[in-house]
Structure 1
Amino acid sequence: MEKHIQIFLTKISYLSIAVSTLILIFIFCFQPPPQTCINPNSNPNQKSHPLSTCHVSPRPITTVDHKNHRLWSTNTWRKSVSSFTSLFINLQTLTNISNHTHSLIMSAGGGQAVMAMHQIGVVDVTGVEVIDSPPLVSRADPHNLPFFDSVFGLGFSVELDQALFPDRYVSEMERTVSVGGVIVVCVQVCGDDEVNDVLKLFRKSEFLGARNVTVMASKMTMIVVKRI
């Protein structure tokens, strides 16, 4: 009796396999091909929101040069560069900055200050930021600069207020600027007491002067010190 049951179950298994095979053959051979992502009856001039990833057309690849050209041609960029240019021209008359001064721009953003330096004739300019913006700005941590000691003749920043560790930030500027070099920082416009608080961060420099300036449409106080 058990032998007959086993034979019966075996026949059912073979039958199930055969039916499954026929179903798979039917699906692959007789199922119509899937519709494409583009509806042939749709109006090509009619714009609509994509319903799925199939409806999303690929975006053209934008080169760095093309991206920079669009950015640098905006009025906002030009005005920012112009404000830095005026500032650096005044610095040239106040200090011994020349066209051959190796200059460091800390927290350089998109590179407006770097471009302004180039426009007034300073050729050796290094701009650093936590996110690089080629070709003007390279990536580097302003709290841990990847430069040897005393390699720059000028250190400049308008972002000291935003530094996570202002003491370390200033220390790196003093470390990388050579003796006799100039360090310039612009902070939120302030009075004598606040200027003195900023000067306490500079342990290897002497105070040269401070004045109120306008940078990127913002009122700021520029503090100039000399590395000793």
Structure 2
Amino acid sequence: MERHIERLLNRISLCFATVATLSLLHLFSRSSFFCAPALLYRRNHVQSLTLTLSPFPTSSCETASRDSISPEKRFHKLRSSRAFERRVQSFSSVFRSLRSLGLLSNSSHVLCVSAGAGHEVAALQDSGVADVTGVEVTDFPPLVKRADPHNLPFFDGVFDLGFSTGFSAALFPMRFVEEIERTVRLTGVTALAVDGWGAKEGVEDVEKLFKMSSSVEVKNFTLDGSPMTLIVMRKNNNGTKLY
């Protein structure tokens, strides 16, 4: 009896193995042969960008037949969108307030940390600031380069203004602030846009993270519909914190 059961189990295992093998062969044949006409058509015909028609592929064949989109084309498409332009304009209003305080000019060397897709970089360039560097954990050419915001690859005191909206999401807030403050020159400023309209206690907690800077301006504003608080700190001449 046990021998019959063992034979039955062996036959079942063999059937499953056969089905699995046939399934793999079927998938391989579809990817190898059925995709061939699409790939041949791609070589002999000019295809328009599929990004505008179908953002996501529906099969492996469709993925293989697509043209890769260069970073320049990707950025051009994003830059021409209403959402991108709306956010750029929102940043422009923030930088106008810094200009009114005499903290930003066209000759300023500006560092934007955790710059995302580069909205703030675009806003600064559009306003006439030529020397703008944007960094993020993942690069987004041509506006944003890859760099760790907790370990910035810049010498001490090389920027006139350090700006960021990424403080609220920083893994190590103290290190995040220290790195921006380090790269700002003496009498230069760091401007942090933090989420929400901050209470006095919350603002003071952020200001205490600065070791060589004193408060210049604290104001509530709206960034693309989101409430934010702008905290502006000036690096002191003697490199010590003033109270």
TM range (shorter): 0.7 to 0.9
Which of 164, 173, 176 is matched with 1:166 structurally? Answer: 173
Larger radius of gyration: 1
Tell me which residue corresponds to 2:102: 95
Question: Aligned partners of 2:78 and 2:144: how far apart in 1?
Answer: 14
Larger deviation, residues 136-145 vs 181-190? 181-190
Question: Aligned partners of 1:212 and 1:55: how far apart in 2?
Answer: 48
Alignment partner of 1:206 is 2:203? no
How many residues were matched structurally?
185
Question: Aligned partners of 1:65 and 1:199: how far apart in 2?
Answer: 39
Letter matched to residue 216 of structure 1: D
Which of 217, 220, 231 is matched with 1:223 structurally? Answer: 231
Which of 58, 80, 93 is matched with 2:87 structurally? Answer: 80
Letter matched to residue 154 of structure 2: F
Offset at 1:96?
3.0
* Alpha-carbon distance change, 54 to 131 in structure 1, aligned in 2, over 3 angstroms: closer
* Alpha-carbon distance change, 39 to 219 in structure 1, aligned in 2, over 3 angstroms: closer
Question: Aligned partners of 2:35 and 2:169: how far apart in 1?
Answer: 50
Offset at 1:38?
6.9
Aligned-residue sequence identity (percent) comes to: 44
Tell me which residue corresponds to 2:132: 125
Tell me which residue corresponds to 1:111: 118
Which of 129, 142, 145 is matched with 1:138 structurally? Answer: 145
* Alpha-carbon distance change, 54 to 191 in structure 1, aligned in 2, over 3 angstroms: closer
Question: Aligned partners of 1:39 and 1:121: how far apart in 2?
Answer: 51
Q: Higher helix proportion, which one?
A: 2
Tell me which residue corresponds to 2:34: 37
Question: Aligned partners of 2:35 and 2:161: how far apart in 1?
Answer: 59
> Residues 39-58 of structure 1: matches in 2 within 5 Å?
50=59, 53=60, 58=65
* Alpha-carbon distance change, 208 to 75 in structure 1, aligned in 2, over 3 angstroms: same
User: Which runs of 5 or more structure 2 residues have no equivalent in the other structure?
Assistant: 1-28, 38-57, 237-243
Offset at 1:169?
0.4
Query: Could you say what secondary structure the match of 1:90 adopts?
Result: helix
Q: Deviations over 1:30-59 (max 9, x none)?
A: xxxx9952799xxxxxxxx65xx5676511
User: What TM-score do you get using the length of structure 2 for normalisation?
Assistant: 0.72
Offset at 1:128?
0.3
* Alpha-carbon distance change, 37 to 225 in structure 1, aligned in 2, over 3 angstroms: same
Offset at 1:60?
1.3
RMSD: 2.0
Tell me which residue corresponds to 1:196: 204
Q: Which runs of 4+ in 1 moved over 4 A?
A: 53-57
